[in-house]
């Protein structure tokens, strides 16, 4: 018996929900580091405030506080802050080489 697929299947801890654009997908996207609020708005039409309300309604209080702390601390949930941070890291790493 040979392999069916040449590429290995990557198992992730929290895979993307099958049902796109549902509340579960919004929660998953809000927790994901690489998906910005702008991308969530483009796909679902939900603003950042609406996403926060959904998270507050559907998560436990402690999970919501943890998420808010994480979102405020990590600047990558906003595309503009993410791009500024990437430029800063590139400039900083370039200076360390010389």
pLDDT in tens, 67-98: 998 888 766 676 676 677 667 766 665 555 54
Asked whether residue 27 is domain-assigned, the answer is yes
The CA-atom distances, in angstroms, between 57 and each of 20, 27, 46, 60, 63 are 19, 11, 15, 8, 11
pLDDT of residue 6 exceeding 60, the answer is no
Asked whether residue 14 is domain-assigned, the answer is no
Torsion, Cα of 39, 26, 51, 45 (10° steps):
50
Q: How many domains does the chain have?
A: 1
11 band by pLDDT with thresholds 50, 70 and 90: low
Asked whether residue 1 is domain-assigned, the answer is no
Asked whether residue 87 is domain-assigned, the answer is yes
Residue corresponding to tokens 């996207």: 29
Domain range enclosing 37 = 23-97
Asked whether residue 16 is domain-assigned, the answer is no
Q: What pTM does this model have? A: 0.64
Asked whether residue 9 is domain-assigned, the answer is no
Q: Report pLDDT digits (tens) over 18-72.
A: 777 789 999 998 888 778 888 899 999 999 999 999 999 999 999 999 999 888 8
Asked whether residue 13 is domain-assigned, the answer is no
Sign for the CA dihedral angle at 92, 81, 68, 10 comes to negative
For residue 46, the model assigns a pLDDT of: 93
């Amino acid at each position: 018996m040979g392999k069916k697929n040449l590429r290995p299947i990557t198992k992730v801890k929290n895979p993307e929900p099958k049902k796109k654009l549902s509340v579960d997908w919004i929660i998953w996207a809000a927790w994901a580091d690489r998906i910005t609020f702008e991308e969530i708005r483009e796909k679902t039409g939900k603003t950042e405030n609406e996403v926060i309300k959904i998270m507050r309604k559907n998560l436990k209080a402690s999970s919501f506080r943890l998420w808010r702390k994480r979102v405020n601390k990590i600047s990558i949930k906003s595309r503009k802050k993410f791009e500024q941070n990437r430029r800063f890291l590139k400039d900083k790493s370039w200076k360390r080489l010389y």
